Amino acid sequence: MKREIKKAVRFLKQGGLVCFPTETVYGLGARLFDEQALQKIFKVKNRPMDNPLIVHISDPKELKMLTQNFPKSAFKLIEKFWPGPLTLVCKKSPQVPAMASAGLKTVAIRMPNHKTALELIRALGEPIAAPSANISGRPSSTRYQDVVRELGDKVNLVLKGEQSELGLESTVLDVSRLPFRVLRPGFVTLEELKEVLPNICLAAKGKSKLALSPGIKHQHYKPNCKVVLVEPQNWEETLEEWQNQKIRLGVFSYSKKIPNFKNIVFNKMFHGNKLEMAKQLYSYFYDAEKAKVQTLLVETIEQKGIGLAFMDRLKRASA
Ligand code: TXA
Ligand code: MG
């Protein structure tokens, strides 16, 4: 891995793009301080220019250079959740290129909890700006092979890693003003955040004309098949309705039995295991595509704890 990291650093210093594993999903990285390289990220992902990137750091000390008026109370969150799946939106310092923050006055920062990601940032000696490693609108990539297939020919290098341990993106929390607000639900739950700072709340949806988290308004996480959400109380009835359709069906169940209908060509059961469900969602989306599923029926779960982030992604995938 040392040699691969060296190679990656060389590419980054030359203005190239490197995909790397993190504990949440794979990232598509460039040097934060290279505006041309940042531009390449947007181009390769076909990402709308108004959707800012996350800056990945390897030490909370780097906050000082990247932010202004960083709130003291947010250090409590850092102590508890860094390195890990929590991204903090902070007032940015002038050093942060406008391209990374899409022209906003804030910048999103996270310290990933992943050996390779941290080694890469440390070896480069600078922060790495990285959105998730997927074409905009597609599911995020949680496996090396998914990154290679989706982006391999568009970047300089994909660093190899295991399947992402968590599988769902980080929670994006705005700490640039009070009260601190969750802009994107993610692996760290609202309940866990509130245990540290009870005043943290969810950002109100669609209330403000100003897009709080620009990414939220764009289409997201869609596999190449129709995703249909099925509430548990309608499960048997809905599946029967699909039984006689000449459609290649996929079925993901959280708690229910999956019948053996002939047209079900791909099925996955989570056996009530929420961590497993979060970890596998994107990889199973891609596997369902491979199985040429036309319609994917997915059992919904309660929107609390990790269920909030899971349902957020599912709703976008099915919109
Ligand atoms: O787990 C993760 O967060 C992964 C890994 C690679 O770290 N990254 C990721 O990045 O999911 P991306 O680009 O797919 O999502 C970043 C989200 C978007 O919704 C974006 O709008 C939001 O963070 N964001 C970034 N900067 C922001 C800012 N200054 N203000 C509000 N939202 C911001
Ligand atoms: Mg993304």
Predicted local distance difference test score (pLDDT) of residue 206: 62
Q: How far apart are the C-alpha atoms of 20 and 312, rounded to whole Å?
A: 25
Q: Would you write out the chain's pLDDT as a tens digit for each of its 319 residues?
A: 799 999 999 999 999 999 999 999 999 999 999 999 999 999 999 999 999 999 999 999 999 999 999 999 999 999 999 999 999 999 999 999 999 999 999 999 999 999 999 999 999 999 999 999 999 999 999 999 999 999 999 999 999 999 999 999 999 999 999 999 999 999 999 999 999 999 999 998 765 545 556 666 677 889 999 999 999 999 999 999 999 899 999 999 999 999 999 999 999 999 999 999 999 999 999 999 999 999 999 999 999 999 999 999 999 999 9
Predicted local distance difference test score (pLDDT) of residue 216: 65
CA 254 and chain centroid, separation: 21
Q: How far apart are the C-alpha atoms of 83 and 121, rounded to whole Å?
A: 13
24 CA distance to ligand 2 middle (Å): 11
- Is the distance from the beta carbon of residue 100 to the nearest atom of ligand 1 less than 6 Å? no
- Answer whether 0.85 is exceeded by the pTM: yes
Predicted local distance difference test score (pLDDT) of residue 207: 53
Pocket-testing residue among 105, 132, 177, ligand 1, by greatest number of atoms within 8 A of Cβ: 132
Cis amide linkage into residue 48, ω under 30° from 0: no
Give me the residue label for tokens 């959280």.
254
7 phi, psi to nearest 5 deg: -60, -45
- Is the distance from the beta carbon of residue 169 to the nearest atom of ligand 1 less than 6 Å? yes
47 CA distance to ligand 1 middle (Å): 12
Contact 230, 211 (CB under 8 A): no
Q: Which atom of ligand 1 is nearest to the CA of 27?
A: 6
Q: Which atom of ligand 1 is nearest to the CA of 85?
A: 1
How many alpha carbons fall within 13 Å on the CB side of residue 222?
Answer: 12
Predicted local distance difference test score (pLDDT) of residue 212: 59
Q: Relative to the alpha carbon of 20, which ligand is closest?
A: 1
Q: How far apart are the C-alpha atoms of 247 and 146, rounded to whole Å?
A: 25
- Is the distance from the beta carbon of residue 28 to the nearest atom of ligand 1 less than 6 Å? no
Tokens of 211: 């897009």
Contact 268, 284 (CB under 8 A): yes
Q: How far apart are the C-alpha atoms of 33 and 299, rounded to whole Å?
A: 43
Predicted local distance difference test score (pLDDT) of residue 219: 73
Contact 56, 121 (CB under 8 A): yes
The DSSP 8-state label assigned to residue 200 in this structure reads -
